[in-house]
Amino acid sequence: MKINLLCRQNSIVSHYVAELRDVEIQKERLRFRKNLERIGELAAYEISKLLHYNETQVTTPLGIAPSKMLRQDDIVVASILRAALPMHNGVLNIFDHAENCFVSAYRKSGKDNKFTIAFGYISSPPIEGKTVVLCDPMLATGSSMMVAYNALLERGVPQATHIVSVIASRDGVEYLKKHLPPEHNVTLWVCAVDDELTAKSYIVPGLGDAGDLAYGEKV
Ligand code: URA
């Protein structure tokens, strides 16, 4: 797995991440969702540099312009419900002809703060040979990401997968490195990698529960 840090250089991405983490600013749900969406857009822009383009000629009102147009038809934007939805919209703002996939996976509590990841359902087009952009803002243990990736594989093997997260834990990154098939072409795009996980597997300093901050608390 290749890893690209979206905040390696100073850019507006760092500002959006700081706002997402800020306990005061994050009280404003609309802004929280908007910042996730904007990071989805900026990550998609970076990913777009690695995609394939067709040379074409475009007729302008004044002549013919040699142009390049993205081959959009093989992109699938995939998201793990529900926290990834704003990022999903952001990626889709850039790759507007992309197909869409949704995976529901959630933490099922067990004893001693332990949990397993329960897979709910997948709604997906065929994946074989396509380019998948798989969003989840928080890569904590990495286990829901692996559940989602394995669910995608039931629909075919992508030719490339771009995992987009805002904050990962070191453990989460190591988990993906260990469990993703080494022969698969997977790149992780992440803004920050934090050192710690709590006993309940929340990222520290992280930002809290991204799904709750975007859409409200659940029972
Ligand atoms: N999911 C979240 O929303 N936050 C975390 O810190 C970990 C998982």
In tens digits, the chain (219 residues) has pLDDT values of 999 999 999 999 999 999 999 999 999 999 999 999 999 999 999 999 999 999 999 999 999 999 999 986 699 999 999 999 999 999 999 999 999 999 998 888 887 778 889 899 999 999 999 999 999 999 999 999 999 999 999 999 999 999 999 999 999 999 999 999 999 999 999 999 999 999 999 999 999 999 999 999 988
Determine whether the shortest distance from the Cβ of 166 to ligand 1 is under 6 A: no
CB atoms within 10 A of CB 48: 13
Q: What is the pLDDT of residue 109?
A: 83
Q: Could you give the angle at the alpha carbon of 119 between the alpha carbons of 89 and 17, nearest 5°? A: 35
| Contact yes or no for 156/187 (Cβ under 8 A) | no
Q: How far is the CA of 167 from the centre of ligand 1 (A)?
A: 9
Alpha carbon nearest to ligand 1 atom 3, residue: 209
Q: Is 140 in the pocket of ligand 1 (CB under 6 A)?
A: yes
Ligand 1 mutation pick, 81, 87, 203, 218, max ligand atoms within 8 A of CB: 203
Do 72 and 99 meet the contact criterion of CB atoms below 8 Å apart?
A: no
pLDDT value of position 218:
87
Dist. CA 21 → ligand 1 center (Å): 12
Q: Where are the beta strands (DSSP E) in the chain?
A: 2-5, 53-60, 63-70, 75-81, 99-109, 115-123, 131-135, 138-139, 160-169, 186-194, 196-197, 203-204
Q: Is 215 touching ligand 1 by the criterion CB < 6 Å? A: no
**Alpha carbon of 33 to ligand 1 centroid (Å):** 15
Ligand 1 binding pocket mutation candidate from 20, 26, 141, 201 (most atoms within 8 A of CB): 201
Mutation pick for ligand 1 pocket among 202, 204, 207, 217 (CB with most ligand atoms within 8 Å)? 202
Cα(128) to centroid(ligand 1), Å:
30
- Cβ–ligand 1 contact at 172 (below 6 Å): no
Supply the pLDDT for residue 107: 81
Is the entire prediction scored with pTM above 0.85?
Answer: yes
Cβ–Cβ contacts within 10 Å for residue 155, how many? 18
